[in-house]
Chain A
Amino acid sequence: MRAAIIGTGNIGIDLAEKLLREHSLELIAMAGRRASSPGLARFEGRVKYLTADGVDGLEEHFDEIDVFFDATSADSHREHWKRLEGLGKAVVDLTPSRVGAAFVPGVLDHENQPGKPIHNMSMVTCGGQASVPMVSALARHVERVDYVEVSSSIASLSAGPATRANIDDYIRATENAARLASGADVAKSILVLNPVEPPTIMRTTVHMKGLLGDLATLDRTVRDAVDLVREYVPGYRLLVPPVQHAADVLTVSIGVEGAGDYLPPYAGNLDIITAAAVKTALDMVAVAS
């Protein structure tokens, strides 16, 4: 399966490094918006087609591309989708646009998300990828979920300009996924950027409110779910196992350290969304073959 990446910022670069290691996926094209983009220079000689003209610059190669990865911004993705929708090819969206169904490997896919275009897979957000496996594991075993909350802190240096300018897109996409994974009527998401030097890893905390049930069962469930994520994000780990606060509130905290493919290991937020995108594409290859 041949792939193209749109966007040569932090996420595009990290994703490209991962795709170049895969045997069942061939990264053949990358599109940026500036000829001077360091992202394009980095892949000179490593990726067949490089263009600074965005999606336009890929048009002549559309026939050769089986899957598009969009690593730009939510607004840009909405524009890109207008161009790509008619091609009938797979599009993996790493922006928080919510154009496609929210995808979290092994947890969320097109099921239960009616009305979403079948070829568009939305990778939600870094906070969504980190929290949804926990939210889903907890929701399967508590007796009733009234409210779910996911708060994340990430290193300032790992948040690119698109994230900074559109923090509301992040919040909405993360809340949408948390709601889908929990069945709660109300979901809340919080994002904090921390500029500490040296930069710190990504941390995500899930608060769940409802009728909780047996804590020991929840503890086992959460640990199993952590192991599943670790298969594609080795730096994913449990920081605080399920703790009950009040009679009806429990908390789990997760830490995400990155693989250091592009930004250093503190940027777990980058790693988890690009790793999830690769995993989603590989799952597609597995189904196709």
Chain B
Amino acid sequence: MTTTTTPTAQITVYDVTLRDGNHALRHQASRELVRDYCQLADVSGVDYVEVGHGNGIGASSALVGFSLETDEVLLTTAREALTRKKLAVHCIPGFATVERDVLPALANGVDLVRIGTHVTEADTGAKHLTAVREAGREAVSVLMMSHMATVERLVEECVKVEGFGAQAVVLMDSAGHFSPADVTARISAIVDAVGIDVGFHAHNNLGVGIANALAALDAGATIVDGSSAALGAGAGNAQLECLAAVLVQEYGVDLGELTPFFRMGSLIAERAAGHLPKTTSSSVISALAGVFSGYAPHVQAIAEELNLEPALLWRELGARKVVAGQESIIREIARDLMDLS
């Protein structure tokens, strides 16, 4: 590595294993898994543990998949196991409402809420951000599918969320579409434009998840997302064990002992065996098409049911520029393709 070591680096490590990883588990994370994982994470160098359905609180649904456990069970279980670390949730306005989902999550002891919107639609989260701030908890804005906006538009949205009261803004590469140079350009521009902390959330569809996370840090991001055993949607996230090792070795970040990270990785490798994400031809195709990684199991299922080539579906989904939450369009597209052929 040729990165400059900054020994004073204050980097926030944000663990998404039990939330983004729930995509890989088809939202079937059990209370036992949450408890056991949180007990290990509690003595690790992570700062936040995010828990929930893959699409966040209030997202259990026929459209994207029903959760095995309720939000309440997931959060109270995690809260009980986390005595030192902060508990966080993801929240997508349009799925989750303040009254039904956000306030109960706060009542269950959530410290931080990430309000996730499609990259160009940040204003739909203003009310949710305000509700979290008013409750005295941390409110962070997440711009999902960030590859779908120009750098200029991205910066505009980041400035907007700072105005709404977001305490940090996190860029999600939800489709795993970026290369390190893309990340550098975007994070640099955002860091120049806003006064709040900036974070980055990688997906590994092109095999550059860790490289992208490091590019973000080098460009001035101070929050970095990782997932044990890379458990996450699509080809998974930046693998937390690797990320932690590099942060300690190359960036001089004080994460304490690395052993807990390895235990967390091993626990997930064991409990999620059969669901561990891999970078496959299909994940590369979906990344190039720029489609949300969470679509993968739905595309797979419909392709099998109707005997279609998944690549055809990915390309058509990409051409239509679908966003997260439009999973029901896959069947419509499949039918269109079949009528054509």
Contacts and interface: CB of A to CB of B under 8 A. Distances in A.
Interface in B307-339: 320-326, 328-329, 331-332, 335
B26 to A, nearest CB: 13
Most buried by A among B61, B148, B320: B61
A38 interface: no
A208 to B, nearest CB: 8
A205 B321 contact: no
A77 interface: no
Interface residues of B, number: 29
Contacts of B321: 194, 196
Interface stretch (A46-54, A85-93, A162-170, A264-272): A162-170
B97 A243 contact: no
Contact of A149 (B61, B148, B325): B61
A253 B121 contact: no
B211 to A, nearest CB: 29
Given A207-B63, A239-B332, A190 B325 contact: yes
A251 B61 CA distance: 13
A151 interface: yes
B164 to A, nearest CB: 11
B62 interface: yes
Contacts of B123: 161, 164-165
A58 interface: no
Given A168-B98, A207-B63, A209-B62, A193 B124 contact: yes
B62 A249 contact: yes
B271 interface: no
A164 to B, nearest CB: 5
A251 B323 CA distance: 20
Contacts of B127: 165-168
B62 A207 contact: yes
Contacts of A221: none
A171 B97 contact: yes
A43 B320 CA distance: 36
Contacts of B148: 195
Given A156-B121, A166-B127, A195-B121, A240 B331 contact: yes
A176 interface: no
B98 A203 contact: no
Interface residues of A, number: 33
Most buried by A among B62, B63, B94, B99: B62
A280 interface: no
A149 B329 contact: no
Contacts of B61: 149, 151, 188, 190, 207
A172 interface: yes
Nearest to B95: A190
Given A151-B325, A192-B324, A196-B321, A167 B124 contact: yes
A37 to B, nearest CB: 20
A183 B146 CA distance: 40
Interface in B73-100: 93-95, 97-99
Contacts of B331: 240, 243, 251, 253
Most buried by A among B95, B120, B148: B95
A130 B124 CA distance: 21
B329 A203 contact: yes
A149 B63 contact: yes
Interface in A172-186: 172
Contacts of A207: 61-63
A96 B215 CA distance: 45
B118 interface: yes
Interface in B109-130: 118, 120-121, 123-124, 126-127
A172 B322 CA distance: 25
B126 A165 contact: yes
A200 interface: yes
Contacts of A194: 118, 321-323, 326
Contacts of B335: 240
Interface in B281-317: none
A153 interface: yes
A191 interface: yes
A149 B65 CA distance: 12
A190 B332 contact: no
A168 to B, nearest CB: 4
A166 B130 CA distance: 13
A167 B329 contact: no
A194 B324 CA distance: 9
A288 to B, nearest CB: 38
Nearest to A205: B328
A165 B328 CA distance: 25
Interface string A108-142: 00000000000000000000000000000000000
A192 B99 contact: no
A165 B121 CA distance: 11
Interface of A: 147, 149, 151, 153, 156, 161, 164-168, 171-172, 188, 190-196, 200, 203, 205, 207, 209, 239-240, 243, 245, 249, 251, 253
Return the 6 tightest CB-CB contacts between A and B, nearest first: A207-B62, A192-B325, A205-B328, A196-B321, A168-B97, A191-B94
23 contacts: A149-B61, A153-B326, A164-B121, A164-B124, A165-B126, A167-B94, A168-B93, A168-B97, A190-B95, A190-B325, A192-B323, A193-B94, A193-B118, A193-B124, A195-B323, A196-B322, A207-B61, A240-B331, A240-B332, A240-B335, A243-B331, A251-B331, A253-B332
Given A200-B320, A240-B328, 12 more contacts: A149-B62, A165-B127, A168-B93, A168-B127, A192-B94, A193-B94, A203-B332, A207-B63, A239-B332, A240-B335, A251-B328, A253-B328
